[in-house]
Amino acid sequence: MSKTTPDTGAEQNPAAAPAGADDLGAAGAQLSTAPTETAVPGSFGGNRAPGLAGWLAWTAREITGWVRWFWRQLTSMRVALLLLFLLSLGAIPGSLIPQNGSDALKVEEFKQAHKTLGPLYDKLGLFHVYSSVWFSAIYILLFVSLIGCIVPRTWQFAGQLRGRPPGAPRRLNRLPAYATWRTDAAPEQVREAALRILKRRRFRAHTAGDAVAAEKGYLREAGNLLFHVSLIVMLVAFACGQLFKTEGDKLIVEGDGFANTLTQYDDFKSGNLFDDDSLVPFSFTLKKFTGTYERSGPNKGTARTFEADVEYSKGADGKPQHKTIKVNHPLEVDGAKVYLVSHGYAPTVTVRDGKGKVIYHQAVPLLPLDANATSQGAIKVMDGYTNPQGKKEQLGFAAFFVPTFGGAGQDSMFSQFPGLDFPVLALGAYHGDLGVDAGVPQNVYQLDTKNPNLKPFKDDQGNILKARLLPGETMRLPGGAGSITFEKDIKEWAGFQIVQQPGQGWALTGAVAALAGLAGSLFIQRRRVWVRAVPGADGVTVVEVAGLGRSESAKLPEEIGDLAALVHDTAPTRNDADSDADSDAAPDRRPDAATPVPAEGEQKK
């Protein structure tokens, strides 16, 4: 890489210099440090000396030639453009095809529906585009290109900062903005004045030969480099975040707690480089969940607040502290963040056996099905139950819960409002073997009623035993098999997502730096100005002011106008009728007083 640096720097820069600068020589070169677009042959060809040594030398030459060629291609603007284009193109499929990362369920559905496309997409990694080989290849190449582009440009820029603005080109009148006049002032006087004026305007200026050369707007290049470096910082931060990220879910009923260890999660995902020790040690207890809802109007039932009051402690045994977690206001403990992501109800039930002994007393979290918190779940009594025949059995209850009952007189019930106004719990009762121990993963919120070992309790008519209970009511199981009570104490639960993603600070820093760099790069113009003063053929001083900027520069003529006016104040136009240098400059309105007007520059600023 370092090998290519010197020649890149030394070359002229037709790519970045504005058109028309080709005849300007060094004056127009390197107005930006964009890489040059020069064709370098890959193969050096050349003669191959006989013998092994000759072959080795030739091969080495060839290889370095091609490596150089490849590197040049990769770091050229053209390829950067191509890679950028590919990057945006490559991002598209991920937004149109379901992705494993965000919605694995949809991916399954898609695979079911598209028997031929599914496997093909799978092969191409289209279900995880942003971590697929080809997408990674694009951005890694882009960033290699970026680094390969930045390093030489930084050197080149440093060189420009150490050097001085290039001297004036021979023919200033070919520059994009140009002014000239004849004056009585001596050339040295004009140059001195110009140097002073340019320096006051914070140009880097020096006198080179018969002209003053000046340059301004280096911050553009600095900003541009800063921007591109920040892109790298952001990418590295993002990659670290992905590799070390952990993300887990936990459902907690009011009164229960959580300690941040792997076993406590309901669901846990982590990046490739995660190891168990990196989980931040902390624990918290959900004291109370509060949800309030709009009571009237067209938005009735819409959530107003969701708040989870928690007590948490850092480390293994830190001091307990209080915090209210809300949407948008996560709890933050040493880089781990706890977000409130869901909530629901957990009715408390008590199950007694035939002898009246309490064998189960618990708040059972149920999953909401709609916006009014119509909820569903299962109550599973795994052990401790002995049926009237003296045989150990398990009990299962299919539970259906509404916080505000609707559907009176109907078969099905539903909730009319998400708040706890008129709670009703509907239960269906089963006994036998829940099949939990069979090794097949089971949904805790569902009763496997298809399981042949799980038999429903029957009512008098021989139907499945069902009941709708109000708080405090009890459903008796037939044949003295026991009872289940819907307690008045209805709890709420909250779902939390616990996320640890290192590198966020870096990503943000990178983003802010990128923004600053970008502003510098786009809003600052880099331009060169030359002021030449030489005695003309007749001995009268001819002043020429000219400027060169990037092709987009519109302000340049204005600035040249301002500068020329300032110089003109100290070296006014000579009052000669037959002057041809400025014959179109309204000779009849020529100032009669040739005195300098130094205040002029200040006035116009």
Partner 1 sequence: MTLAAPIQLAATVNEHLAQISNTLIYSAMAVYTLAFFAYIAEWLFGSRSKVARTAAALTAPKTQETAAAAQGPAVTVKSAGGTAVLERPKVVVRSAAGSRDVPDGPGAHGGDQQGDLYGRIAISLTTLAFVVEAAGVVARAASVERAPWGNMYEFNITFSTVAVGVYLALLALKKNVRWLGLFLTATVLLDLGLAVTVLYTASDQLVPALHSYWLYIHVSTAILCGAVFYVGAVGTLLYLFKDSYENKLATGGTPGRFASSVLERLPASATLDKFCYRVNAAVFPLWTFTIIAGAIWAESAWGRYWGWDPKETWAFITWVAYACYLHARSTAGWKGRKAAYIALIAFACWLFNYYGVNIFVGGKHSYAGV
- For ligand HEM, the binding residues in 69-108 under the rule CB under 6 A are 75, 77, 80, 84
- 343, interface contact from ligand HEM, partner 1, none, CB < 5-8 Å by kind: partner 1
Q: How far is the CB of 297 from partner 1 (least distance, A)?
A: 6
Radius of gyration of the chain (CA): 40
Containing 91, the helix (H) or strand (E) segment is: helix 77-96
Confirm or reject binding of residue 35 to ligand HEM (CB under 6 A): yes
156 by Cβ neighbours in 10 Å (0-12 / 13-18 / 19+) ranks as: buried
For residues 179 to 218, the per-residue mask of contacts with ligand HEM, x marking binding by CB under 6 A and - elsewhere, is ----------------------------------------
CA dihedral 477→481→487→490, nearest 10 degrees, is -80
How far CA 270 is from CA of 236, 241, 579, in Å, comes to 18, 10, 81
- Vertex 271, ends 270 and 276: CA angle to 5°? 55
Q: Which stretch binds ligand HEM (CB under 6 A): 142-150, 429-437, 447-455, 530-538?
A: 142-150
- 48, interface contact from partner 1, ligand HEM, none, CB < 5-8 Å by kind: none
Q: How far apart are CA 172 and CA 162, in angstroms?
A: 25
The interface with ligand HEM within residues 12-31 (CB under 6 A) comprises: 16
Helical residues (DSSP H) of 201-319, grouped into ranges: 218-244
Q: Considering only residues 27, 28, 75, 94, which one is a binding residue for partner 1 as defined by CB under 8 A?
A: 94
Q: How far is the CB of 241 from ligand HEM (least distance, A)?
A: 17
Considering beta carbons, is residue 195 or 373 the nearer one to partner 1? 373
Q: Which stretch binds ligand HEM (CB under 6 A): 145-153, 272-280, 282-290, 422-430?
A: 145-153
17 by Cβ neighbours in 10 Å (0-12 / 13-18 / 19+) ranks as: buried
Q: How far is the CB of 228 from ligand HEM (least distance, A)?
A: 6
- 96, interface contact from partner 1, ligand HEM, none, CB < 5-8 Å by kind: partner 1
SS3 of 138, please? helix
Q: How far is the CB of 6 from partner 1 (least distance, A)?
A: 22
Q: Considering only residues 19, 440, 537, 577, which one is a binding residue for partner 1 as defined by CB under 8 A?
A: 19
Considering beta carbons, is residue 224 or 270 the nearer one to ligand HEM? 224
The single residue listed with the structure tokens 């109370």 is 288
Q: Considering only residues 463, 551, 575, 583, which one is a binding residue for partner 1 as defined by CB under 8 A?
A: 551
- 551, interface contact from partner 1, ligand HEM, none, CB < 5-8 Å by kind: partner 1
Considering beta carbons, is residue 160 or 570 the nearer one to ligand HEM? 160
How far CA 251 is from CA of 247, 380, 444, 600, in Å, comes to 14, 17, 12, 75
The interface with partner 1 within residues 109-138 (CB under 8 A) comprises: 129-130
Helix (DSSP H) and strand (DSSP E) numbers for the chain = 11, 24
Confirm or reject binding of residue 149 to ligand HEM (CB under 6 A): yes
- 146, interface contact from partner 1, ligand HEM, none, CB < 5-8 Å by kind: ligand HEM
User: Is the Cβ–Cβ distance between 471 and 487 less than 8 Å?
Assistant: yes
The single residue listed with the structure tokens 């911050």 is 219
Confirm or reject binding of residue 36 to ligand HEM (CB under 6 A): no
Residues 6 or more apart whose Cβ sits within 8 Å of residue 181 = 542, 543, 568, 573, 574, 581, 582, 585
